[in-house]
């Protein structure tokens, strides 16, 4: 536990010596991100140490508490506690509940946590016993502050008045929560249409009128064995582990200049989502260890990142896609005929896509230090699976 205690002491010192509110906020945000990455680790000891360290830290510093009252933290908690398709380890859920319990007993202005009430109510009735107990305690404490699901729905006018009187940052958090709820609702509406299209395609394949998609061999272009470890997995999959620091890229050899191609990847040990997939221009090789936000290099590639779900195209960021975390299947589908690049997560097409790609590109995957990914497949498709969806948003290459 000594390294965690030493880290906490250093963070508190840095926050204390920073002169401006912006400086303190930046340090607090970076600190909470580091502990969150520890909490979601598969190693239970590391996860518990991260939870305990963050709980102790927030109890001592208001900047840390304010950082955790942000929409980014609450959305991570929601995804973790409500994950169904890819079950999350119970020690990870326990860790977040421990942090929440300490937060509601030490912080002021807890209204930002109201978005957690539905998932906590569900956990209280359907979760494991120890999760039920902690969820019940957190809900009781929130109710004591007047924060309940019923109160938020029955007094919408008074809530709006309250929001209008809050600071800009609190208003921004409220809007982000509403946007996320609307995005989830849109995806639910898209499910039926996409499933119907898939069913029709499957029927045609069974009739023999549509040839099956073709698997392409997974091969790498300019693979750097000094910074990546490569391993074969049953079924023709490949696991890649990043050994050194900073960001680096993995290039796929497959020529995708004629037809529709898709790559499917899942990421592991990427903290809060520091992995990305996309395309890179022609035979361009991104220098090792660069800052991916450096516009001198960003003009050569497109990436869809797990943290915040942003799509960056030639250095410009477009929001609207859902974030993704460990073990979710992320798909990039490039159509050379239309010059478009679409993305999906666990089979659900995302609204932000790229158009106007009229030159040769190749698939690329980005990994940060000590993270890993599994390349599940590279396929040439007989027909595109991407369709026009509600609220789609195009970024220009």
pLDDT tens, residue by residue, 26-40: 666 677 877 888 898
| Residue range 164-178: mean pLDDT, rounded | 54
Q: What are phi and psi of 210, to 5 degrees?
A: -125, 115
pLDDT at 119 > cutoff 80: yes
Dmax of the chain from CA atoms? Answer: 71
Q: Mean pLDDT, to the nearest integer, of 208-217?
A: 66
Q: Cβ distance 27 to 15 under 8 Å?
A: yes
Q: What is the mean pLDDT of residues 16-25?
A: 48
Q: How confident is the model at residue 375 (pLDDT cuts 50, 70, 90)?
A: very high
- Looking at residues 339-354, what average pLDDT do you find? 96
- Kindly list the distances between the CA atom of residue 243 and the CA atoms of 270, 285, 373, in Å, as whole numbers in the listed order: 13, 19, 12
pLDDT, tens digit (0-9, with 9 covering 90-100), for 331-343: 999 999 999 999 9
pLDDT level of residue 88 (50, 70, 90 thresholds): confident
pLDDT value of residue 212? 56
Q: pLDDT band at 71, cuts 50/70/90?
A: low
Highest mean pLDDT among 4-8, 189-193, 366-370: 366-370
In 3D, which of 67, 56, 17 has the Cα closest to residue 169? 67
Domain-wise residue ranges, the chain: 1-145, 220-396
Domain topology for 220-396: Jelly Rolls (2.60.120)
Q: Give the burial class of 302: count Cβ atoms within 10 A of its Cβ; 0-12 exposed, 13-18 middle, 19 or more buried.
A: buried
Task: Say how far apart CA 359 and CA 377 lie, in whole Å.
Answer: 23
214-245 residue pLDDT tens: 889 999 998 988 889 999 988 889 999 988 77
> Which CATH number does 1-145 carry?
1.25.10.10
Instruction: Please state the pTM of the whole predicted model.
Output: 0.50
**Do 1-145 and 220-396 share a fold?**
no
* Closest to 340 in 3D by CA, of 324, 325, 356, 322: 356
Q: Per residue in 287-311, pLDDT tens?
A: 877 776 777 788 899 999 887 889 9
Name the percent of the chain lying above pLDDT 90. Answer: 37
> Looking at residue 117, what is its pLDDT?
92
List the structure tokens of 362.
């190749």
Q: Is the Cβ–Cβ distance between 330 and 277 less than 8 Å?
A: yes
Please report the sign of the dihedral spanned by the C-alpha atoms of residue 53, residue 58, residue 60, residue 63. Answer: positive
If you search the block for the tokens 């030490």, which residue do you land on? Answer: 106
């Amino acid at each position: 536990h000594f390294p965690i205690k030493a880290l906490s002491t250093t963070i508190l010192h840095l926050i204390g010596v920073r002169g401006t509110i912006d400086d303190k906020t930046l340090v607090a945000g970076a600190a909470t991100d580091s502990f969150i990455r520890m909490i979601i680790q598969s190693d239970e000891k590391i996860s518990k140490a991260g939870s305990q360290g963050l709980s102790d830290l927030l109890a001592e510093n208001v900047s840390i508490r304010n950082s955790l009252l942000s929409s980014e933290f609450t959305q991570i908690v929601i995804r973790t506690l409500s994950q169904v398709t890819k079950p999350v380890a119970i020690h990870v859920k326990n860790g977040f509940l421990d942090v929440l319990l300490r937060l509601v007993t030490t912080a002021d202005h807890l209204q930002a946590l109201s978005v957690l009430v539905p998932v906590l109510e569900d956990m209280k009735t359907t979760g494991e016993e120890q999760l039920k107990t902690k969820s019940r305690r957190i809900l009781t404490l929130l109710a004591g502050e007047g924060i309940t699901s019923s109160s938020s729905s029955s007094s919408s006018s008074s809530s709006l008045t309250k929001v209008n009187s809050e600071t800009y940052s609190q208003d921004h958090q409220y809007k982000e929560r509403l946007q996320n709820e609307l995005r989830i609702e849109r995806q639910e509406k898209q499910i039926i249409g996409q499933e119907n299209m898939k069913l029709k395609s499957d029927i045609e394949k069974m009739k023999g009128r549509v040839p099956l998609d073709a698997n392409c061999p997974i091969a790498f272009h300019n693979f750097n064995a000094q910074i990546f470890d490569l391993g074969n997995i049953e079924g023709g999959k490949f696991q890649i582990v990043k050994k050194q620091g900073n960001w680096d890229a993995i290039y796929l050899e497959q020529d995708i200049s004629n037809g529709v191609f898709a790559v499917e990847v899942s990421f592991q040990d990427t903290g809060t989502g520091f992995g990305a997939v996309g395309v890179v221009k022609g035979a361009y090789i991104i220098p090792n260890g660069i800052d991916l936000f450096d516009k001198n290099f960003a003009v050569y590639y497109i990436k869809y990142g797990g943290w915040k779900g942003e799509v960056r195209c030639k250095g410009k960021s477009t929001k609207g896609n859902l974030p993704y975390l460990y073990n979710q299947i992320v798909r990039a589908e490039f159509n050379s005929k239309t010059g478009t690049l679409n993305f999906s997560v666990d089979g659900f097409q995302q609204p932000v896509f790229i158009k106007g790609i009229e030159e040769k590109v190749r698939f690329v995957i980005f990994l940060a230090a000590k993270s890993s990914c599994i390349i599940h497949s590279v396929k040439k498709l007989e027909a595109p699976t991407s369709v026009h969806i509600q609220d789609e948003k195009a970024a220009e290459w």
